[in-house]
Amino acid sequence: MADIINDIKNKYKKGNILTKYIFINIAVFLLLFVLTLIRKLAGLEVDIESYVAIPSGLQMLIYRPWTLITYIFVHFEIFHILFNMLFLYWFGQLFLMYFTPKNFGSLYILGGLGGAVLYLLIYNLIPYFSAQEATMVGASASAMAIMFGVAFYVPDLHINMLFVGRIKILYVAITLFIMDLLFFGLGENLGGHISHIGGAAVGYAFAKMYISGKDITRWMSNVIDRTVNLFKPSPKKKMTVKPGGKNETDYEYNQRRARQTEEIDAILDKIKASGYSSLSKDEKKKLFDASKN
């Protein structure tokens, strides 16, 4: 058993951002499955879903604001998580061919937030929906954002579809979007169709802004980095002499290198969007200096 756990840990550590997000979704699914089983066996009257699913009512959301994030990692049914993870895997691989891991991680979160915002607006502004109480879980809004991000960035990209053959990814994205519009307000998965539209809108905005040279995920990447750093152990402030004779602690050195990496990433994003000629002299110098390290 210990070997299996260690093997899973190693695969998680060595995997890319897509693999890590899929692992997180599966881990949350298994944890909730175990907790639900324990609740049933113990006869406890605890509604686990209400603590991790996003509620349609704003009053409840005020008391559980974390559900804006947790819901995009939560699944309670095996076919729900299976379909969402396959969808995320297929289009996530394509996305990472054109964008950075940070773009992926941040757009996943932003797509989920976009789906949540539209879901809350619809359920609180339209009388037909506001009369109902509902909750929503699932990574589908985030997966839609990823798919729309790559579909509208490289609309001529062809993919192979079962029973269809080679088809432009743009046509697949538009077809799914139309289907969500047609089923809007029908069936049991009302929240799902609404969130899909919200996630798709975020993915579309990301692609169009990225083409124009603006990365709307950058601020979210900074938020994620700061949040992750909060849980890292405090570095030892050992004074060392770094290359170039500059005296600084290990912490100061790591912080400086992190800032330089962010600057280089931003320059590379600019080259990808607008070409090398769009760089300023200062940006070209930073890129040249970085290539020598």
- 6-21 burial, b at 16+ Cβ within 10 Å, e below that, comes to eeeeeeeeeeebbebb
Domains defined along the chain, listed by start: 2-218 (1.20.1540.10), 235-292 (no CATH)
* Confidence at residue 61, expressed as pLDDT on a 0 to 100 scale: 94
DSSP 233: P
Cβ atoms of 195 and 136 within 8 Å: the answer is: yes
- Measured distance CA(258)–CA(269) in Å, rounded: 17
Which segments in the chain show pLDDT lower than 50? 244-245
Residue 139 is predicted with a pLDDT of 95
- What pTM value is reported for the model? 0.78
The closest of 79, 66, 65 to 29, measured between CA atoms, is 79
Residues of 152-162 as b/e, b for ≥16 C-beta within 10 angstroms? Answer: bbbeeeebeee
Contacts with 140 (C-beta within 8 Å, 6 or more apart), sequence order: 84, 87, 115, 192, 195, 196, 199
Please give the pLDDT value at position 117. 96
Three-state DSSP class for residue 108:
helix
**Residues 161-188 pLDDT 10s:** 877 788 999 999 999 999 988 877 566 6
The predicted-structure confidence for 217-257, as pLDDT tens digits, reads as follows 999 999 998 888 887 776 555 555 555 445 666 666 666 77
Assigned token pair, 118: 């539209």
Q: Is the dihedral of CA 234, 237, 241, 246 positive or negative?
A: positive
